[in-house]
Chains A and B, each alone.
Chain A
């Protein structure tokens, strides 16, 4: 008998009982869930993964025409299409992960009620499966960047792109954090299920996606970092592309503080809820 495999079932554990070793044992499941989602998502669609490219391009075209063209909102001096595309690629990753994670107990209720595995595997795997979309869309954005460099409009591909992975790690952490909080509360109160799409929509407008971070008055920038780390993360992404940014160390620190706090809270409430979530579905 393997003593490591002894399971002790008790009513409540401590308020923080995340067992990393236990989670690590399910790493293959995490990858398999991610692969399943990737494989299944575009099955029986005509255009397949081309949707990944079409969606941000169509949105970019619309924003370029309406927001930049008609409304005349500043793009901080950068060519409008690449300005929007950079932000949209990051934004769609965030919104996809958050909406998947917020539905985790509802979408997987049947499975969760029949078999146990650490529930955290599911939202974490959505970071990976959506990461594929992010990579493809980023490729499109880089192609645009290259095009603008060749036409001499931006100081394109540079060493700054080496920092982009850090941006991705930050946005993944923050998306997971928000997703876990919403997912845990949706399991308990169905109200959040109605709230989430609406909430994401509003978030799109209060984040510097259709406007530059520099449009935020200087005295509010750090506060913005605390309240909406996504604003900072997206501007960091733009910095990797264009080399100019209104975001500095204080804002980055603020965003990191909020991300860590929300992630911690998210993990704690998620692992509390997962123990009895099946009684509520």
Chain B
């Protein structure tokens, strides 16, 4: 038997209307119809855009393929089309084999039903028959590890248990093609390992995995191929590691050493400067002293503010948070403009490229009022410490713990 690709996508496109994605009223529909009848150009004025445009690729069976791209690049739209949730406007996709999708864990769980009832319900939603679920029930229960909670309504579950149960069901669907959308971001570390292990098993058995993620480390580790989407277009498709490198070098934001987020009503701006100056820098020396200055402004006023700066490595892993509360700056009010200066002394970040995010919260609120995970990037260059001849390099990890070393004679 000639091995046909498990996933074959040809010229797939999907259009949305900007702004007015949603239900149209009858009146709008009539207006649109009239506009269409008047001229063909009216079509263009409908303000449509392509969420994905002319996507073509094929994935051989048994491949774990990552789908990467910035927010809004069309990753989710592509998955929704491939899982039949919504129909494309042009093109064709052929999926050879049973499709299991995990666009959200526990979609279809009913909070009032207990664990067993939800296993059956969710299993059937995913496409299993009742007999098949009964056959796999013990394995699902064991994998989910929810023991005595089987007869408890899932609304009383902890979020960890909820996720474990949901993934356990999906993992036992045994699909030929598994479509996963970042669900692994939830759950504890041990469970994530278990999920990844299952995913790899799936691939090992000649099954195919399509995996959307923002976490480049995860994609690099688990995927052999990758698809890079950029503003709805297929920018690159090929070996995962080279695609990820291409993606990373493309996503670096403007490196003028400062970046702003927000509007005139409420904004913040971050810059890295040499201590006590206004001189910006984006090439930092390992072990050097720098100030991370977060400038905030509010047209009216913003009360009880709490801020932090996040530092990510090149693959999107959070390395450290510079946090106003923890450093003893209490909640403060923004009237006009204020600056929060985070003074970093003997920079412990090892050479490499890092990006900076920041967030502004109102005290005790969960959701930030302003946030960006990609305000600016900076490079750290190698340097020596303690007058040593040997510098600290990229190979030494991500951070250097503040320490010293001495040689002691032992008699």
Contact of B110 among A12, A40, A44, A189 (CB under 8 A): A40
Residues of chain A lying within 8 A (CB to CB) of residue B25: 189-191
Q: How large is the interface on B (under 10, 10 to 19, 20 to 34, 35 or more residues)?
A: 35 or more
Residues of chain B lying within 8 A (CB to CB) of residue A71: none
**In the complex where A9-B87, A276-B86, A279-B21 touch, is A115 in contact with B97 (Cβ < 8 A)?**
no
B88 CB–A CB distance under 8 Å: yes
A1 touches B117 (CB 8 A): no
Interface string of A19-40 (1 = CB under 8 A from B): 0000001101101110010011
Contact of A36 among B88, B89, B117 (CB under 8 A): B117
Q: Which of A10, A26, A112 has the most CB of B within 10 A?
A: A10
A106 to B310, CA, bound (A): 39
A115 touches B85 (CB 8 A): yes
A178-192 CB contacts (< 8 Å) to partner B: 187-191
B81 CB–A CB distance under 8 Å: yes
| SS class, residues of chain B in contact with chain A | loop
Contact of A9 among B82, B110, B113 (CB under 8 A): B82
A116 touches B101 (CB 8 A): yes
A8 touches B125 (CB 8 A): no
Residues of chain B lying within 8 A (CB to CB) of residue A275: 86-87
Chain B: CB-nearest residue to A108: B108
A12 touches B85 (CB 8 A): no
A116 to B85, CA, bound (A): 5
**In the complex where A5-B98, A32-B120, A32-B121 touch, is A279 in contact with B16 (Cβ < 8 A)?**
yes
**In the complex where A1-B61, A11-B88, A278-B80 touch, is A111 in contact with B108 (Cβ < 8 A)?**
yes
A230 to B378, CA, bound (A): 72
B83 touches A116 (CB 8 A): yes
Contact of A11 among B24, B87, B101 (CB under 8 A): B87
B256 CB–A CB distance under 8 Å: no
B291 CB–A CB distance under 8 Å: no
10 contacts between A and B (CB under 8 A): A2-B98, A7-B95, A9-B88, A9-B95, A11-B88, A32-B124, A114-B103, A115-B85, A115-B108, A275-B87
Which residues in A have some Cβ–Cβ distance to B below 8 Å? 1-3, 5-12, 25-26, 28-29, 31-33, 36, 39-40, 43-44, 110-117, 187-191, 275-276, 278-281
